[in-house]
Structure 1
Amino acid sequence: MTNYDELITALSPPEKVELLTGASMFALRGEQRIDLAPMAFSDGPTGVRGLEFTGGEVVALFPNATLLASAWSTSTAHEVGEMLADEAERQRIHVVLGPTINLHRTPLGGRLFEQYAEDPLLTGHLAAAYVRGLQSRGIGACLKHLVANESETERNYVSSEVSEATLRELYLLPFEIAVEDARPWSIMAAYNDVNGVAATEHEHVNNEVVKGEWGWDGLLMSDWFATKTAAAAANGGLDLVMPGPDGPWGASLVAAVEAGEVDEKVVDDHLRRLLRLADRVGALGRSRAWRGELPAPDSPQRRAELRRLATDGMVVLRNDDALPLPDAQRVALIGRHALETTCMGGGSATVRPPHQVSIAEGLRSALGDRVEVVDGVEVRSLPAPSDALEHPETGEPGVRMSAVDADGEVLGDRHREIASATVEGDSFDRPVARVVFAGRSAAGGRMNVGAIGTGAWRLRVDGEEVAAFTLTADGHDPGEATLIPPRRTVEVSVPAGGLVEAELRIVATEPVPGPDGVVGVLSNAIASGLGFKALVASPVPVPAEDTLATAVTAAREADVAVVAVGLTEEQETESRDKSTLRLPGEQDALVRAVASAASRTVVVVNAATPVLMPWAEEVDAIVVAGLPGQEGGHAVADALLGVREPAGRLVTTWPAADAAAPAWDVVPRDLRLEYAEGTFIGHRGHHAGLAAPPAYWFGQGEGYGSWSYEAARLVEGAPSPSVEVRVRNTAPRDSREIVQVYLQPTEPDQPVRLVGWAPVAVAAGESASVVVPTDPRSWRRWSGAGWAPLSGGELLVARGLGDVRHRLVVPDRPSS
Structure 2
Amino acid sequence: MKYKDLIGKMTLEEKASFMSGKDFWQTQNIERLGIRSMFLSDGPHGIRKQAEAADHLGLNASIPATCFPTAATIANSWSVELGEQIGDYLGKEAVVQKVDVLLGPGINMKRNPLCGRNFEYFSEDPYLAGKMAAGYIRGIQSHGIAACVKHFAVNNQEERRMSIDTIVDERTLREIYLTAFEIAIKEGKTKTVMSSYNQLNGSYTNENIHLMKEILRDEWDFDGVVVTDWGGSNDRVAGLVAGNELEMPTTAGETNEEIIQAIQSGKIKEDVLDECVDRLLELIFATEEVHTNSQQEFDMEEHHKVAQRAAEESIVLLKNEGNILPLNKGVKVAVIGDFAKEPRYQGAGSSIVNPTKLDNVLDGFDQSGIINIGYEPGFERYGKKNTTKMDKACTLAKESDVVLFYMGLDEVTEAEGLDRPSLKIPDNQIQLLNSLYKVNPNIVAILSCGSVVEMPWLDKVKGLVHGYLAGQAGASAILRVLTGEVNPSGKLAETYPLQYEDTPSYHHFPGKEVSVEYRESIYIGYRYYDTTNKDVLFPFGYGLSYTTFEYSDIQVTKDEVTFKLTNTGNVAGMEIAQLYVGCKSDDIFRAKKELKGFAKVFINAGETKTLTIAFDDKTFRYFNVKSNQWEIEEAEYEIILGASSADIRLIDTIVVEGTGAPLPYDKDQLPTYYSGKANDVAVEEFESLIGYKVLVAKWDRSIPLGYNDTIAQCRYAKGGSARLAYYVMVFAHWFLIKIGKRSTANIIMMSVYHMPFRGIARMTGGVLNMPMLDGILMMVNSHFFKGLNHVLKERSNKVKVAKVIKTKAVATKEI
TM-score (norm 2): 0.77
Equivalent position amino acid for 1:15 in 2: E
> 1:733, 1:764 within 8 Å by CA — same for their partners in 2?
yes
CA contact (8 A) 1:757 1:773 kept: no
Q: Is the 8 A contact 2:159 2:512 kept in 1?
A: no
Aligned to 1:302: 303
Q: Which moved more, 1:632-641 or 1:545-554?
A: 545-554
**Which segments of 5 or more consecutive residues in structure 2 lack a partner in the other structure?**
661-815
SS at 2:502 equivalent: coil
Q: Displacement of 1:247 after TM fit?
A: 6.2
1:797 alignment partner AA: L
Determine the structure 2 residue equivalent to 1:724: 562
Q: CA deviation at 1:813?
A: 2.5
Mapped contact 1:359–1:633 kept (Cα < 8 A): yes
Identify which of 783, 802, 805 aligns with 2:646. 802
CA offset digits 1:179-206 (Å, max 9, x no partner): 1112111000000000110012111100
Residues 424-477 of structure 1, C-alpha deviations (whole Å, 9 max, x = no match):
xxxxxxxxxxxxxxxxxxxxxxxxxxxxxxxxxxxxxxxxxxxxxxxxxxxxxx
- The CA deviation at 1:668 is 1.1
Aligned-partner Cα distance in 1 for 2:265–2:124: 45
Partner of 1:14: 13
- The equivalent residue for 1:787 is 630
Verify: 1:31 aligned to 2:30, yes or no. yes
Matched, 1:741 2:579: yes
Residue 450 of structure 2: aligned partner: 608
Partner of 1:403: none
Aligned residue identity for 1:630: Q
> Could you list the per-position Cα deviations for residues 10-49 of structure 1 after superposition, in whole angstroms to 9, with x for gaps in the alignment?
1121110111110010001222333211110100012111
CA distance in 2, matches of 1:240, 1:372: 54
1:683 aligns with one of 506, 521, 526: 526
500, 503, 510: which one aligns with 1:667: 510
Aligned residue number for residue 360 of structure 2: 358
Deviation, structure 1 residue 812: 3.3
The aligned residue for residue 750 of structure 1 is 590
Deviation at 1:368, TM superposition (A): 7.7
Deviations 1:254-295 (A, max 9, x none): 001111112211101110110111121117xxx842141542
Q: Which residue of 2 aligns with 1:488?
A: none
CA contact (8 A) 2:335 2:372 kept: no
Preserved contact between residue 363 and residue 633 of structure 1 (Cα < 8 Å): no
| Distance change (3 Å), C-alpha of 1:233 and 1:247 | farther
Q: Paired residue for 1:316?
A: 317
Distance 2:153 2:457 in 1: 37
Gaps of 5+ in 1: 382-540
Secondary structure at the aligned position of 2:577 is classed as strand
1:45 maps to: 44
| Partner Cα distance (2:616, 2:406) in 1 | 39
Q: 1:353: how far off? A: 1.5
What do residues 631-652 of structure 1 show as CA deviations (whole Å, max 9, x unaligned)?
1211111111122222101011
Task: Tell me the distance in 1 between the aligned counterparts of 2:183 and 2:25.
Answer: 28
Q: Compared with structure 1, are the counterparts of its residues 122 and 32 closer, same or farther at alpha carbon in structure 2 (3 Å cutoff)?
A: same
- Secondary structure of residue in 2 paired with 1:271: helix
Task: Kindly indicate which of the two structures has a greater share of residues assigned to helix.
Answer: 2
Whole-Å separation in 2 of the counterparts to 1:753 and 1:132: 26
Deviation at 1:333? 1.0
User: Does the 8 A contact of 1:241 with 1:247 survive in 2?
Assistant: no
Aligned counterparts, 1:66-77, within 5 A = 66-77=72-83
Contact 1:314/1:647 (8 A) holds in 2: yes
CA shift, 1:367, in A, is: 5.2
> Is the Cα–Cα contact under 8 Å of residues 625 and 636 in structure 1 kept in the other structure?
yes
Cα distance in 2 between the residues matched to 1:379 and 1:58: 25
Identity of aligned residues (%): 29
Asked if the contact 2:441/2:460 (under 8 Å) is kept, the reply is no
**Structure 1 position 282 matched with structure 2 position 285:** no
- Determine if contact 2:28/2:37 at 8 Å carries over to the other structure: yes
Matching residue of 1:136: 142
Taking the aligned partners of 1:351 and 1:808, their CA distance within structure 2 comes to 47
- What secondary structure does 1:630 align onto? coil
Q: Name the CA distance, whole Å, in 2 between partners of 1:100 and 1:702.
A: 27
Shift in Å at residue 810 of structure 1?
Answer: 2.1
For 2:434, the equivalent position in structure 1 comes to 592
Equivalent in the alignment of 1:767 = 608
1:708 CA drift (Å): 1.5
How many residue pairs align between the two structures?
645
> What's the secondary structure of 1:160's corresponding residue?
strand
The 3-state SS of whatever aligns with 1:636 is helix
Q: Deviation string for 1:511-567 (max 9, x for gaps)?
A: xxxxxxxxxxxxxxxxxxxxxxxxxxxxxx6x5333333222222211111111111
Q: 2:380 aligns with which of 361, 378, 381?
A: 378
Q: How does 1:336-415 map to 2 (within 5 A)?
A: 336-363=338-365, 366=368, 370-380=372-382
Deviation at residue 364 of structure 1 after TM alignment: 5.7
Q: 1:570 aligns with which of 404, 408, 412?
A: 412
Task: List aligned pairs for 1:168-567, cutoff 5 A.
Answer: 168-246=174-252, 249-282=255-288, 288-292=291-295, 294-296=297-299, 299-320=300-321, 321-363=323-365, 366=368, 370-380=372-382, 543-567=385-409
Contact 2:244/2:276 (<8 A) preserved? yes
State how far apart, in whole Å, the 1-side matches of 2:590 and 2:603 are: 35
Are the equivalent residues in 2 in contact too, given 1:588–1:614 (CA < 8 A)?
Answer: no
Q: Distance in 2 between matches of 1:572 and 1:774?
A: 37
Following the alignment from structure 2 to structure 1, what is the Cα–Cα distance between the partners of residues 5 and 161? 40
Distance in 2 between the 1:148 and 1:364 partners? 48
Mapped to 2, the partners of 1:362 and 1:167 lie a distance apart of: 47
Cα pair 1:362 1:636 within 8 Å, conserved: no
| Equivalences for residues 86-97 of structure 1 within 5 A | 86-97=92-103
Instruction: Return the alpha-carbon distance in structure 1 between the equivalents of residues 291 and 381 of structure 2.
Output: 47
CA distance in 1, matches of 2:619, 2:203: 28
- Name the SS for the 2:433 alignment partner: helix
The structure where strand makes up a greater share of residues is: 1
What SS does the aligned partner of 1:249 have?
helix
Task: Give SS of 1:778's match.
Answer: coil
Q: CA deviation at 1:799?
A: 0.8
CA contact (8 A) 1:230 1:248 kept: no
Answer yes or no: is the 8 Å Cα contact 2:441–2:461 preserved in 1: no
Check whether the contact 2:2–2:278 (CA below 8 A) recurs between aligned residues.
no
Conservation of the 8 A alpha-carbon contact between 1:577 and 1:666: no
Measured in 2, the distance between the counterparts of 1:775 and 1:637 equals 39
Quote the offset at 1:369 in angstroms: 5.5
Question: Contact between 2:333 and 2:370, CA under 8 Å: does it hold in 1?
Answer: no
CA distance, structure 1, for counterparts of residue 374 and residue 253 of structure 2: 56
Matching residue of 1:468: none
Structure 1 position 709, deviation (Å): 1.3
State the TM-score, normalizing by the size of structure 1: 0.77
SS for the counterpart of 2:650 is strand
Q: Supply the distance in 2 between the matched residues of 1:592 and 1:10 (Cα, whole angstroms).
A: 73
Give the CA deviation at 1:248.
Answer: 5.2
Q: Is the Cα–Cα contact under 8 Å of residues 663 and 682 in structure 1 kept in the other structure?
A: no
